[in-house]
Structures are given as C-alpha cells and as structure tokens.
Amino acid sequence: EAQVTQNPRYLITVTGKKLTVTCSQNMNHEYMSWYRQDPGLGLRQIYYSMNVEVTDKGDVPEGYKVSRKEKRNFPLILESPSPNQTSLYFCASKYSRVSSHEQYFGPGTRLTVT
Amino acid sequence: KNQVEQSPQSLIILEGKNCTLQCNYTVSPFSNLRWYKQDTGRGPVSLTIMTFSENTKSNGRYTATLDADTKQSSLHITASQLSDSASYICVVTRADGLTFGKGTHLIIQP
C-alpha cells in the first residue's frame, strides 16, 4: 500500500531534550516536506526537500533541522525543543515539485514539549 | 501578501442536508487550487484540484467551483453524511510553494 508513515505518533518530552521524528514514503517520491498545524493558524511548512541531499527552508524553519540522505526518508530533528514547538506535525510527499502532482500526507505526530 | 481565507470557520448541519464552504484567495501567481478533507487526528486527503481554466470539478458528492476572476472557490457537499464531519482545507499553489487556508470545521449531526 502506497503511504507516508511517521513515528512516533505521539510524543511528550521536556524542554531541551533532542528528539527526531521519522518520516518514510514508499512511493519513490522526489519531493518531501514537513508541516506543523496549530489551532487558528492552519498548516505551515517547516522544511522541504526536492531530492536526496537537497533541502530548503519553508515558512517556519526556526528550531528545526532536516536531512535527506535517502530518497524514502526525511527525518525532522528538534535539537533543543521548546514549549512553543508543541504542535501537530505532518510529513508529506509527492512525485516531484510540479504543482499538479498530488501531495500525500502522513498520519501526523502530536508533540508536547513541557 | 499571499493569503487564503476560508469561511465559515465552523459549520453544523443535519445529516442529509447540503452545504457550501467558501475560499477566497489573493495568491499570485496562481497555479492551481485544491480542496483537502482532514479527519480528526489524520492527515489531509486531496478531494479536488482545479487549474486556472477549470470552473468546476466533482468528486462524488463533493463539487468544487473556481472563479479565477474574483479569486473565489467553493466546495459544495450534497446530501451530507456523518462521515463528512471533518475539516476542509483550501490550498492554493503558487509557482514557488503552497498557501494554506485555516480550514472550515464541519460537523454533521444525525
């Protein structure tokens, strides 16, 4: 089954403790991205990657890092999480950056930073 | 400034009734417009996509319209079902990225 998977689905952590949220897709997609979704603000793009070893900042990149060493994986790294990073995070992928290609979202990771 | 405004913010209707959700945008340059459905606790799923030249697009009981002159889109849901309860997000694609609306939260009551 074609899908985007994220792990973990739920995470509670403390301020400053480094964490990684994994994202994997099995559709051989070139383009992957991370979003956060907050009440009243909608979805905002954190980082995106157009292909292996090619990453770029989205609208809200501060406090986050990403890497794209393999085509299928695009982990999101929070080196020193803070409470304002408490949010619902979605990984997404699509075949390429071409605008007409459909973007597939993962199931989401709910992160709480205390 | 690139913006996508959706209305209403939330809506409650009875099962079997129709409803229309609105999306106004100021995004430029425009590539296409998508409507997504997001069930609670899940990722968004694409319902329709429309390019500049398309006025209407249907997907089962969902019909989206686009007026590129007034920069308005609507999503009409016919004969609503309990499973239609979700958030509906309008997304406009620019040449250099996406602009998301904040969504309309729809509740279908039995």
pLDDT tens, position by position, A72-93: 999 999 999 999 999 999 999 9
Q: Smallest Cα–Cα separation from B83: which of B35, B34, B42?
A: B42
For residue B31, the distance in angstroms to the closest alpha carbon of chain A comes to 7
pLDDT at A99 over 80: no
What one-character DSSP code corresponds to residue A95?
A: S
pLDDT tens profile B63-93: 999 999 999 999 999 999 999 999 999 999 8
CB B18 within 8 A of CB B37: no
User: Can you tell me the distance from the alpha carbon of B41 to that of A6, in angstroms, rounded to the nearest whole number?
Assistant: 13
Who among B41, B43, B102 is closest to A42 (CB)? B102
**A83 Ramachandran zone, left/alpha/beta (phi>0; psi -120 to 50):** alpha
CB B44 within 8 A of CB B37: yes
Pairwise CB contact (< 8 Å): B98 & A102: no
Give chain B positions within 8 Å (CB) of A105: 43-45
For residue A84, the distance in angstroms to the closest alpha carbon of chain B comes to 19
CB B49 within 8 A of CB A100: yes
pLDDT at B101 over 90: yes
Pairwise CB contact (< 8 Å): B46 & A103: yes
- Residue A97: which pLDDT band, with cuts at 50, 70 and 90? confident
For residue B28, the distance in angstroms to the closest alpha carbon of chain A comes to 14
CB B11 within 8 A of CB B22: no
Who among A42, A45, A106 is closest to B43 (CB)? A106
Interface test with B, best of A43, A88, A101 (most B CBs within 10 A): A43
Strands A109-113 and A10-13: parallel
B58-63 CB contacts, 8 Å cutoff, 24+ apart: B62/B35
pLDDT tens profile B18-64: 999 999 999 887 889 999 999 998 999 999 999 888 999 999 999 99
Strands B97-100 and B86-94: antiparallel
pLDDT at B109 over 90: yes
- Residue A96: which pLDDT band, with cuts at 50, 70 and 90? confident
End-to-end CA distance of chain B: 41
Strand order in the sheet with A76-78: A4-7, A19-25, A76-78, A65-66
Buried b / exposed e over B23-36, threshold 16 CB at 10 Å, is bbbebeebbbbbbb
Look at residue B94 in the predicted model and tell me its pLDDT.
81
